[in-house]
């Protein structure tokens, strides 16, 4: 479990999302669909068609090397 500060906004996407999309595809959905910055530190939650899977997109700048953006793999979480 990843602790998220109480002042972080959590956005929940309505409808279903193609769970084959990776983090880059989901961040593109955030940019184009919600007109939000996926790197701003907000949490974006997507639901699969069956409702049994979710993916959360969150970028914490506290852990990124200077000037770099990187994604955690599921093994690192």
* Tokens read off for 74: 């599921």
Rounded CA separation 49/38 (Å) = 22
State the pLDDT confidence band at 76, using cuts at 50, 70 and 90: very low
Write the pLDDT tens digit of every residue in 4-59.
778 889 998 888 888 898 888 999 989 998 899 988 889 999 998 888 888 988 87
pLDDT at residue 60 tops 60: yes
**pTM exceeds cut of 0.85:** no
């Amino acid at each position: 479990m990843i602790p998220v500060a109480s002042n972080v906004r959590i956005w929940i996407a309505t409808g279903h999302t193609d769970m084959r999309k990776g983090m880059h595809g989901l961040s593109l959905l955030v940019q184009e669909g919600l007109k939000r910055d996926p790197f701003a530190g907000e949490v974006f939650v997507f639901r699969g068609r069956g409702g049994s899977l979710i993916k959360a997109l969150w970028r914490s700048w506290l852990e990124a090397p200077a000037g770099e953006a990187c994604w955690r793999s599921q093994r690192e979480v």
